[in-house]
Amino acid sequence: MSAISERGRVRAQAILSRGGSRVARLDRRPIPHRAIVRVIQHAIPRRFDPKAARDLHAVFELRVRDPRGRGPARFALTVADGRCEVSAGPPSDPAATATLGADDLIRLVSGAVGFPQLLASGRLELAGNPFVALRFPGLFRLPARARRK
């Protein structure tokens, strides 16, 4: 990876970790959306909580909606032996699927919204094996609840 692209990746991660709702609004534009989607693959393992996944061996599919209605970006998340590996593209046979917008993913990670609120509003969809799907949000170090404004 060139020094320029590495700096860009590091800068994008810093921007995403700071702004929460402000950054989430950038998802409406094509270029920021593509940048956000590229960072997701690197950011997910950093938020992964190995203790929450000790006994879990499963493959998840994460679908990140495109704000312009195009097909979602798809990622395979393989959780095994307390580790999470993320690769671009859909897995062949996921145990569960999580679908949400990049804007809501940013809000979730920043604490601007909690996953129960996203589930209740239909902005986060979980499908597949319900016992595996319901474990998905708990596999990541997220704020305990949405911050109050």
Indicate the pTM of the whole model: 0.77
State the average pLDDT over residues 106-122. 85
Name, in order, each residue with C-beta under 8 angstroms of 4's C-beta and a sequence gap of 6 or more. Answer: none
What pLDDT, on a 0 to 100 scale, did the predictor assign at position 2? 56
Token pair 């990670």 in the structure block, residue: 109
What is the rounded distance in angstroms from the CA atom of residue 114 to the CA atom of residue 92?
29
**pLDDT tens readout for residues 33-70:** 787 788 888 888 888 999 999 899 999 999 999 888 88
Is the pLDDT score of 76 beyond 80? yes
State the average pLDDT over residues 103-118. 84
Give the β-pairing of 83-88 and 58-65. unpaired
Q: Could you tell me the sign of the dihedral formed by the alpha carbons of 46, 47, 51, 52, in that order?
A: negative
**pLDDT tens readout for residues 125-148:** 999 999 999 999 889 887 655 544
Q: Where are the domains of the chain?
A: 3-139
Query: How is domain 3-139 classified at the architecture level of CATH?
Result: 2-Layer Sandwich (3.30)
